[in-house]
Structure 1
C-alpha cells in the first residue's frame, strides 16, 4: 500500500480534503493493526523458558550414568538435548548460588556471598516467634538494587512464576513477586521439613507475599508440581512464559528431630523402588542435638535421597507432559541443574569433595539443556567450560531481550557453544567461601581448602588427586595474579547487601 502524506492533499474542495484525511486515517489504522498482529505473533513465537534447579544433587546422580538411581525423565532430557560435563555453579551451597544464577553476577558482585541463615537451630535450638522475627535469617535478603531474570524478561512480554525454594530473603521487599515474578508459591529460606513446611519449627511457606499453612501435611514436591502445572495451564500457548522450579529435593530435612534431620524425607512408594535397607536406624552418642540420638543409617539415607530424586524426576516428567499437551515443548528452553554439589547420600564421583567445599564435587554439577527449536543437538555430551553465570545473558539473547546498558553481567551467550559452532568464551572462573577460594583457568585448578593450597590439571586429573604445585610454579604465580585481579575487581564493584559494608 502506498502511504499518504497530508502535504499531498489537494485543497480544491473540502470534500477532497475530507476524503483524503479519511483514507489516511484508515491506512494508519490498518498499518497499526498489522503491526499489532505481527507483534502478537512474534510474542507467541518467542521461546518459553523452564528453569529447573534441584537442591544438593550429586554430579553422578542421573540414571543414564549407571549408578542405579531412577531418573527416566531427566534421562529423556539428556537424550533429547545436551548434557554438560564441565558446568559450574558460582558457590558451593544454596543462597549465593541462587542469587548468582538469577542475576548473572558473581556472589561477590551482587553482595550475597554467604548464606542468609541462622546457625543456632543446627544445635537443637527452636526459636520462638518473637526471637525468629529479629534474626538475620528473617531480616536479611538480596539487595533490592539487584535486577533478576524475570524483571529483565518482562519488557519482552514474559509472565513469570516460581514454585519451590526462594532463599533470597523473607521480608516482603525481598520476596519473588517484589522482584519481578508474577506468581510465587514456595518457601522462603534455605530448608524445610517436607511435610510440615517448617524450618526447625518455623512455618516457612508463602503464597506471593503472604505466609500460608494451607497445605501443611502434603509432601512439598507434590505441591511444587501442582503449582507448576497450574501455571502452564494458565499460560502455555497463550503468552511467552518463564517457569522457575527450584525444588528442595534432595536436600535433607530441616527438622529438629534427629531421626528426620539425619535423612531426606520421601514417600514410602518411592522408597520401595529401591532395595530394602536393614537396619534403618542406629544410635549415636555424638549427635549435636541429643546424646544419645537415633539417626538414619548411611544406607537408609542413600535410599531416601534417591527416592526424593525419583519423585522430583516424576514431577519433571509431568511438566514435560504438560508442555507436550499444550504443543509448546519444542519451543521451550528447558534447563536443569543442581544448585551445588551433592551432600551426604549423593554420588559425586568421579569428583572429589561435596557441598560446601571448593573441590570439584562442591561446584561442578549435572546440567541438561533441551531446546530443539533453537537447534540444540540431541544426545550430545558437551565438555566445554560453562557456568550458571551464563544463564541470564543466554536467556536474554534467546528471547531478543536487550541487556540494560548499566547492568554488568559476568557471563555470556552460550548458544553458539551448545550448538557446536564455537568453543566456550569462558577462560576462567573464581570462587570464595569464607577463607577458602578456588580459581579455574583453562584446565588448571588452583584451590585453597582449610588453609592448604594445591594445583591440579583437570584435563588429566578430574578427581584432584595429584598436586602439581612444585612442578609448575609458573602456573601458580599466574593463578595467584588472576585471583588478585579478580578480588580487586570485586572490591571495586558498587557495594551490595547484605554482607557488604556500606
Structure 2
C-alpha cells in the first residue's frame, strides 16, 4: 500500500478539503547525449539488459520528444513543464531582453522566484533529492572567474590526491551543493556543475558513475520512510567520449566531482566485471560504456526494490536529448526523439507501449497529477499530464508539438515536421549583404550563414550530420522518411502552408519574442506577438559571444 498523505493547501487546491490520497515516490533518471544506438531494445548493438527489462516491465513511450536538444534547456523543461524559451533566469534575460528573438541553448537556467516540480513537491511534504549533472544554475560560475564566485582554484594539471588540492575540490563541490538547494532540494550531493571539463582539472575529466549512484543510494536509504522525489542525472554518454575507456571504465574510480575519494565505492559491479560481461555478451570493449550506464540504472531500480518500495515508486528513465553523432543541437528527430521508460509495479501494465506524441514538458504536470499536488496558480506550464497514459489510455494527449533550438523553431505532428530557420534582423541584413560568419575550425572557409547556436562546436557537428541544417524552410514526411533525409517543402505546398500556420499559432504564446514573418501577423491574419513590432533591437550583435563549454 502507498503511504497516506496529509493534504497541504497549495494555490489552486480545494480549500478546506480533508482528503487522503495515495501518491507515489518518484525517481527520474536522466542520461546525457544518449541516442538509440546505445540502447539495446531500440536496436542498438550494445548490451543493456536492465533497460531492456524496464521496457518489458513497464511503459515505453515510443514518440517521446525533448523540445530543445541541448542540456540546459531540455533539463529546464523536464523540471518546470515550461518551454525553455519561457525562461526568465538572469543570464537568459541578459542575453535576450524582451523584444529580442531568443536563441535557446545552454543559457537556460532554473529561476529562483518561479516554481519547478521539486519546489512544489517539497512544499507538499516530499523529501527531494538532486544527484549528478546540473547545468541548470549559476552559469557564470561554470566558465567565469572562480575566485570572484567564491570558488577555489588550482592548476589544470593538479593532482587531486594532494591533500591541499583535494580540500579545495571538496569545498567547491559543497558550494555547488548549497547553491542548488534553494531551487527545491533537501538533499544535494554528487554534483557535476556541468560537463566534466568544467571541473578544470585533467585528472577529473573522467566519468564516475559509481560516485553518483552511491549518492543516489544514500538518498533512497535516508528518505525511505517519507514520500520522496529524486532527480538523478548522469554524465554518460556525454564527452569525453565514454567509449574511449580511458575516460570511463579504465579511469581511476576514486576520481570524482568532489576530488579524490580514497575509499572508493561499492554500489556497482567492478569495472573489470562490466568489461567481462560485455565481452561474454559478444560485444567489444568500446561498447561497454552502454552496459556500465545500464548497471547504474539497474542499481537504482534494485535499491528501490530492496527497500520494499517498488509498488510505491514511479521510476522514469529518459535521455536529455540525442547524441551529437545524430540530431543534437537541431530539431531533427534524432535529437528530439528519445527513449522514455516508466516503471511502477502494480500500476503500469508490463510491456505496454504508447505511440502518440509526448514531450519533456509533460513530465512535471504528470508528476504533480500523480502526487496530488495542484499546479501553481501563479505560474504556467506548457505540458499536459500523462496520468491517463500511465493507467493505460491510448488516446492522443496532443496533435502537435512545438520545438525550439537556437535560431530554429519547429512544429511536429505524427506525420509531418516543419522546421523554420530565421535570424534576427541584424543578422539577416548581414546575410543579405553577403557577409560571412566564422566556422568552428579556423582553417575552414567562413560560412554564408551562422550556426544556429552560439556554440560553434555544437553548430559544426550538427551541420556535418544534418545536410539540411542551414535551410530556411524544411518539411519532412515522417511516415515515409523517418530519418528526415529529404526536405519536401517545395513538393507539398499545401502541407507546408498548414504547418507554417501551426508554427505561427504556437509562437503567439511567447510574448514580445519575434521570429520573422511568423510573429508579424502575416500568416495568421493580423495576429501578432503581443506588444511587439517584429524588429530586433538596433544594438543587437550579429556575432554574439561564443559559449566556451563543450556541450
- Same structural fold, with TM-score higher than 0.5 when normalized by the shorter chain: yes
Q: Kindly indicate whether residue 366 of structure 2 is the aligned counterpart of residue 389 of structure 1.
A: no
Aligned residues: 387
Q: Give CA-to-partner distance per residue, 1:29-76, whole Å, 9 cap, x none.
A: xxxxxxx99749x98942100000000111243223443311111111
- Taking a change above 3 Å as real, the CA distance of residues 266 and 450 of structure 1, as seen in their structure-2 partners, is farther
SS of corresponding position for 1:490: coil
Please name the residue that 1:365 is paired with. Answer: 338
Please name the residue that 1:430 is paired with. Answer: 402
CA distance in 2, matches of 1:423, 1:67: 29
Q: Kindly indicate whether residue 124 of structure 2 is the aligned counterpart of residue 156 of structure 1.
A: yes
Please name the residue that 1:84 is paired with. Answer: 61
1:83 is displaced (CA, Å) by: 1.0
Q: Kindly indicate whether residue 428 of structure 2 is the aligned counterpart of residue 408 of structure 1.
A: no
Which residue of the other structure, out of 471, 496, 506, is the alignment partner of 1:476? 496
431-440 or 334-343, larger mean C-alpha shift: 431-440
SS of corresponding position for 2:38: coil
Please name the residue that 2:511 is paired with. Answer: 491
CA distance in 2, matches of 1:223, 1:181: 19
CA contact (8 A) 2:73 2:107 kept: no
- Taking a change above 3 Å as real, the CA distance of residues 478 and 61 of structure 1, as seen in their structure-2 partners, is same
Q: Give CA-to-partner distance per residue, 1:65-104, whole Å, 9 cap, x none.
A: 4433111111111111011110001211111101111010
Please name the residue that 1:20 is paired with. Answer: none
- Taking a change above 3 Å as real, the CA distance of residues 201 and 139 of structure 1, as seen in their structure-2 partners, is farther
Q: Kindly indicate whether residue 234 of structure 2 is the aligned counterpart of residue 247 of structure 1.
A: yes
CA contact (8 A) 2:115 2:376 kept: no
CA distance in 2, matches of 1:431, 1:56: 18
- Taking a change above 3 Å as real, the CA distance of residues 43 and 61 of structure 1, as seen in their structure-2 partners, is farther
Q: Kindly indicate whether residue 478 of structure 2 is the aligned counterpart of residue 455 of structure 1.
A: no
- Taking a change above 3 Å as real, the CA distance of residues 409 and 392 of structure 1, as seen in their structure-2 partners, is same
Q: Give CA-to-partner distance per residue, 1:288-313, whole Å, 9 cap, x none.
A: xxxxxxxxxxxx9x954x32332121
- TM score, norm. by length of structure 2: 0.63
CA distance in 2, matches of 1:37, 1:228: 24
CA distance in 2, matches of 1:465, 1:152: 42
Please name the residue that 1:266 is paired with. Answer: 249
Q: Give CA-to-partner distance per residue, 1:210-267, whole Å, 9 cap, x none.
A: xxxxxx699521111101111111112x100001111111111299xxx97x985333
CA distance in 2, matches of 1:264, 1:387: 31
- Taking a change above 3 Å as real, the CA distance of residues 99 and 303 of structure 1, as seen in their structure-2 partners, is farther
What RMSD in Å do the two structures reach over aligned CA positions? 3.7
CA contact (8 A) 1:88 1:386 kept: yes
CA contact (8 A) 2:76 2:108 kept: no
391-400 or 453-462, larger mean C-alpha shift: 453-462
1:140 is displaced (CA, Å) by: 8.6
- Taking a change above 3 Å as real, the CA distance of residues 251 and 263 of structure 1, as seen in their structure-2 partners, is farther
Which residue of the other structure, out of 306, 327, 348, is the alignment partner of 1:325? 306
CA contact (8 A) 1:340 1:363 kept: yes
1:115 is displaced (CA, Å) by: 9.4
CA distance in 2, matches of 1:44, 1:106: 30
CA contact (8 A) 1:84 1:382 kept: yes
- TM score, norm. by length of structure 1: 0.69
SS of corresponding position for 2:505: helix
CA distance in 2, matches of 1:60, 1:391: 24
Please name the residue that 1:70 is paired with. Answer: 47
Please name the residue that 2:24 is paired with. Answer: 47
Correspondences of 1:78-117 after superposition (within 5 Å): 78-111=55-88
SS of corresponding position for 2:338: coil
81-90 or 263-272, larger mean C-alpha shift: 263-272
CA distance in 2, matches of 1:481, 1:442: 17
1:138 is displaced (CA, Å) by: 12
1:381 is displaced (CA, Å) by: 2.4
CA contact (8 A) 2:25 2:314 kept: yes
Between Structure 1 and Structure 2, the one with more strand by share is 1
Please name the residue that 1:231 is paired with. Answer: 219
The structure whose Rg is larger is: 1
